[in-house]
Amino acid sequence: MRPPLDARTAPSQYTVPTPARASSSWSGNSGSSSSSRSPARRRTATGYSNPVRGDRQRRSVANATSAGEKMCVVPAALRYAPPAHVAANLLSASPLSAELRAIRYVSTATVFLGFDQRTLARPLTGAGFIVPPGEGRILAGTWITSKWDGRAPDGSVLVRAFLGGARSELDVTQENDESLVTRSLSELQRLAGRLGTPRFTSVHRHIASNPQPSLGHRARMVRVDGELRALPGLHLAGAAYDGVSIPDCLRQARVAAERIAAA
């Protein structure tokens, strides 16, 4: 048995969004994704070697790239923002590694479902809802098309369910797509009323992507800051350190940028 609709059976106007390209009809992208590339890190076909340091760095990089030489750019400062457990692996030679690895992470999933607006029991007004602990088998529901325009074809709605997390008995890494879609549809309809049969579904897992600061986290961050002072030029930022929200992460990035500019 398959989910109600997937990429193999969906009409052409319903395409599963991918990290590289969101669908022009159904889109789960809420505008929060971004990518960046260092202008100096223009990779050549042969890779990198020969460290480049000092005031000649920019000119040397440009010359080496145009000549097709191998090179390795050694920056004066680095703002590093992967999940803490990824940073721990890459800083394995530093005492920082153990501190970063001790920050717990959990996995979650988001399930997108598209419906014909005519099958709804009631209009999906507002932004959605959060489920109190113990009151349901999902974390929250979001009315995507009530929050943002252009997320679904005319006459359709797109909704999203959040599953997993620290207090859930559900391990989203062990459940298949069909199970997550079925649970999401059942809970959304139980809590918000009839939605109908999905015309579109898409499941996205976020594996070990949600940090869970616990008792003692502030003291750990004091130790992390102490270790960072022994590594001048390295700056950590992200949800694992000083606040998990998007504004928290932006604030940390700005602070790191100001410190780098002032150095």
User: Is 29 a member of any domain?
Assistant: no
User: Is 3 a member of any domain?
Assistant: no
User: Is 9 a member of any domain?
Assistant: no
User: Is 11 a member of any domain?
Assistant: no
CATH number of 113's domain: 3.90.660.20
Same domain, 157 and 195: yes
Same domain, 196 and 147: yes
Residues 124 and 142: their CA atoms lie apart, in Å, by 9
User: Is 25 a member of any domain?
Assistant: no
pTM: 0.71
Q: Which residue has the higher pLDDT, 105 or 75?
A: 105
Same domain, 243 and 155: no
pLDDT of residue 263: 84
Same domain, 162 and 177: yes
Q: Which residue has the higher pLDDT, 132 or 3?
A: 132
Same domain, 247 and 168: no
Q: 44-58, 192-206, 208-222, 231-245: which has the minimum mean pLDDT?
A: 44-58
Q: Alpha-carbon torsion 23, 29, 31, 36, what sign?
A: negative
Same domain, 128 and 69: no
Average pLDDT along the chain: 80
Same domain, 92 and 113: no
Residues 248 and 256: their CA atoms lie apart, in Å, by 12
Same domain, 113 and 193: yes
Kindly indicate the confidence band of residue 25, based on its pLDDT and cuts at 50, 70 and 90: low
pLDDT of residue 69: 62
Q: What is the pLDDT of residues 126-159, one digit of tens each?
A: 999 999 999 999 999 999 999 999 999 999 999 9
Domain closes at, from 211, 230, 251: 211
Kindly indicate the confidence band of residue 76, based on its pLDDT and cuts at 50, 70 and 90: confident
Same domain, 119 and 199: yes
Q: What is the pLDDT of residues 27-73, one digit of tens each?
A: 665 433 332 233 333 333 333 233 333 343 344 444 444 555 666 67
Same domain, 166 and 117: yes
- Could you tell me if 225 and 30 are in contact, meaning their C-beta atoms sit under 8 angstroms apart? no
Same domain, 170 and 192: yes
Range of the domain at 120: 105-211
For the chain, what is the domain count? 3
Kindly indicate the confidence band of residue 24, based on its pLDDT and cuts at 50, 70 and 90: very low
